Amino acid sequence: MAGGIETVDSKNFYIVASAPNEPSLQVKISGPYLTKQAAQADLSAAIVEAKDIDPSAANYDYSIDKVESRKPGVIQHMASHA
C-alpha cells in the first residue's frame, strides 16, 4: 500500500452473476478477491445481498471467475456510495 491506496492486480477473482436466458450478460457483483477461496467464502452473502438490491437476482446463475478488471463489483461500488 502506497499513500493509503491499495494496488489491485489487473486479474482477480470476482463473483459474477449471469442471466440464465442470456449467459453473455454478466455482471461482477462482488470482488475483487485475491484468491478463489476468499470469493467462495463470500459467495452466499453476496447472493443474499444481490437479491436484496434486485429481487430478480434470484433467477441469475452465479460463478466465481478470474477476470481482468480494476473496478469493484456492484456491491462494493454501492457500499462506497452509501
How many domains are contained in the chain? 1
Q: How does DSSP assign 28-41, residue by residue?
A: EEEEEESSHHHHHH
Whole domain around residue 38: which residue ranges? 11-73
What letter would DSSP give residue 2?
Answer: B
Tell me, yes or no, whether 3 lies in a domain.
no
C-alpha cell recorded at residue 25: 450478460
User: Per-residue confidence at 81, pLDDT binned at 50, 70, 90?
Assistant: low
Instruction: Say if 1 falls within a structural domain.
Output: no
Q: Is residue 5 part of a domain?
A: no
* Beta-carbon count within 10 A of 6 CB: 6
pLDDT digits (tens, 9 = 90+) for 9-46: 678 999 999 988 998 888 899 999 999 999 999 999 99
Confirm whether 27 is domain-assigned: yes
Instruction: Answer whether residue 75 shows pLDDT above 80.
Output: no
Higher-confidence residue of 64 and 69: namely 64
pLDDT band at 79 (very low <50, low <70, confident <90, very high): low
Asked whether the whole model's pTM tops 0.85, one would answer no
